[in-house]
Amino acid sequence: MIKRRIHIQTLLLPVIFFITGFCVSQNVDFNKVNELIDQAKLDSAIIVLEDLKPKLTNPYETGLYHYYQGFIYKRQDLHNKAFKEFLTSEKEFLSIDSLKDVADVNYEIYDLLKHQKNLKTNPLSYLDKYIEYAKKTEEPLYLARAYVKIGDIYNQDDNLKKTLLSYNKAITELAKIKDTVRIALVKMNIATAYNTITKQPDSALYYLKSILPSLKKINNTHFLFVNYNNQGQAYKLKEDYSEAIKYYKKAEAINLNVYDKKTRKILYENLSDSYRKNKDYSNAYHYADKLIKLKDSINETQQNISISEIKEQFDNEKLRADNLESEAKRRQNETIAIGLGGGLLAVGIFAFLIYKNTKRKQRIAEQEREIEIRKTEKILKEQELTTIDAMISGQEKERQRLAGDLHDSVGATLAAAKLQFSHLQVNHKKADDLDTLFTSTEELLNQAYDEVRSMAHLKNSGVIAKNGLLPAIEKLAKNASGVNDLKVDVQSFGLDERLENSLEIAIFRIIQELVTNVIKHANASEASISITQHDDSLSIIVEDNGVGFDAKNIQQKDGMGLSGIERRIEHLEGTMEVDSTPNKGASVLIDIPL
């Protein structure tokens, strides 16, 4: 049951990664077909395709025609027909060496065949062709698709470490093009891995619930269905069958495409099993009955037989073509055998050298892939170490500041109080001004107490007190105002509720460091702090009208502590932008996810 859920999720990924804009230009416009497919109007898309068929003028357009036919059949669960169309499309693209389109077709064939059970044809050979092309292009989207499929394979082998490594590589590639939707879908794959491999439903639920708002924004029924179904699976693993049924019913309430029979089949299996384990046998029987009827309509065995026959037919046609070509060459060789005997030997040697060279290139390619993997791992470790160093540096700086305050302020006051006590101890019997000495000593102790209390308040600045982040920042602005004739203004929007305490402290320290920079370096008369809380993020803007600086050189030095601030923000998974020009002030814009 759990393994099948992997299929329902990965079934949708090709739709996400499907590239609608092909590299080679064509005269026939397939945009209308693509729009109808996106709207799940598959019958209308077939009609438009048939209208375009007489207009096809070259192998590329013909290949594209069969590609769309195959894609429509795939969505209709007619996998044998889809397989035949994809093979025809691949043949057309190969005839014009359109390797990018050949790679796309092989990707679709792999995704099609891996959902067929007990199939003799090995789908991995098609995936290997796609991955080989993706490695050559180094395009983030192609590499991300490859890493996702590799992760799916490791998932099926119950190898969590390699599964998560592949999915994280996909996220790294997608981050290069800032594709947050696809990143959310890869995280849904990570949740599936936790459900299926390690049986850690709490970890799976963490990812599934965190990406749910993003899926609702794009309003894609397929992805919402998968999310609810997988949440149901997680609760089922926790043996909370009532909660599992709740999320399965949410998935059932989504209006899927009429052709998504295999998707609904998995849902009915889950619902029937959950009702049975919850001892609701009436509903268990109801969904078992729906499952039997749906299985009868899919007829997967007949599809497998048809796919095998189609594969054999294409292989035989290729073999006949190869035989005809070999026979023509043989007759030609017989005609010129006497004069070119030595030449044939040279050709044989040359072919052997080519073979050896090809093998050598393959070994080099494998070594380069291994080197690339090691480089990626090294970069990830370096980034982790850099983040840890930044945190340690910030903590050490805070300790040094606290030690300095204790030494310079509290230490001096207590030293004076000690001298007063020593004087009282020696002269208390003969001193005429005891009241004055007691009063003076009491004032020193009160001063020391006030200084320690002030330092404690400054340390937390109200963040961990009952008033929260905003009062702490307002107090910071009040204390900073007047220093160097500076006026600091605070504006807030939507900050009505408390945040998690450690997050409030981290945000306050960042703003405190920025305000300190303004005081020390900006020579400004006015500064402002703007905080806006959105549904899923917190936006912070710190501006001043000071002397400014060259923002282009900010990465080349550690000046003003901005690099340390940036590492703190990265640790919170946020982003920072600096906008400054000499003599025109500076602005720092920060976005932190909640």
Handedness of CA 285, 286, 291, 293 (dihedral sign): positive
Report the run of H or E that residue 488 belongs to, with start and end. strand 487-493
Q: Which of 10-24, 146-160, 345-359 has the lowest mean pLDDT?
A: 10-24
The CB-side HSE value for 495 (13 A sphere, CA atoms) comes to 21
Name the pLDDT band for 168 (thresholds 50, 70, 90).
Answer: very high
Residue where the block lists tokens 């945009």? 31
List pLDDT tens digits, range 58-101.
999 999 999 999 989 888 878 888 889 999 999 999 999 888 89
The three-point CA angle 239-244-248 to 5° equals 150
Confidence of residue 21 (pLDDT cuts 50, 70, 90): very low
φ and ψ at 161, to 5 degrees?
-60, -50
Six-digit token string for 72: 């429509």
Within 13 Å and on the Cβ side, how many CA atoms surround 384? 6
pLDDT higher than 70, residue 577: yes
* Cα gap 452→466, rounded to integer Å: 20
Is pLDDT above 50 for 508?
A: yes
Q: What b/e string do you get for 218-243 counting C-beta neighbours within 10 Å, with b at 16 or more?
A: eebebbbbbbbbbbbbbbbbeebbeb
Give the pLDDT confidence of 517-538 residue by residue, as tens digits.
Answer: 888 888 899 999 999 998 889 9
22, pLDDT greater than 50: no
Alpha-carbon gap, residue 313 to 335, rounded angstroms: 33
**pLDDT of 556 higher than 60:** no
Q: What are the tens digits of pLDDT across the range 223-240?
A: 888 899 999 999 999 999
**Could you give the residue ranges of the DSSP H alpha helices within 278-433?**
281-298, 300-335, 341-405, 411-427
Q: Rounded to an integer, what distance in angstroms lies between the CA atom of residue 15 and that of residue 221?
A: 12
Rg (CA), the chain: 34
**Helix residue spans in 434-580 (DSSP H):** 434-460, 469-480, 501-517, 562-571
Q: For the ranges 11-20, 118-127, 375-384, 426-435, which has the lowest average pLDDT?
A: 11-20
pLDDT > 70 in the chain, percent: 77
Q: What is the mean pLDDT of the chain?
A: 80
Task: Indicate the burial class of 84 (C-beta count within 10 angstroms; 0-12, 13-18, 19 or more).
Answer: buried
pLDDT at 20 over 50: no
pLDDT of residue 165: 93
pTM above 0.85, yes or no: no
437 to 146, 419, 448, 450: CA distances (angstroms): 82, 11, 17, 20
Q: Note the maximum CA span of the chain.
A: 136
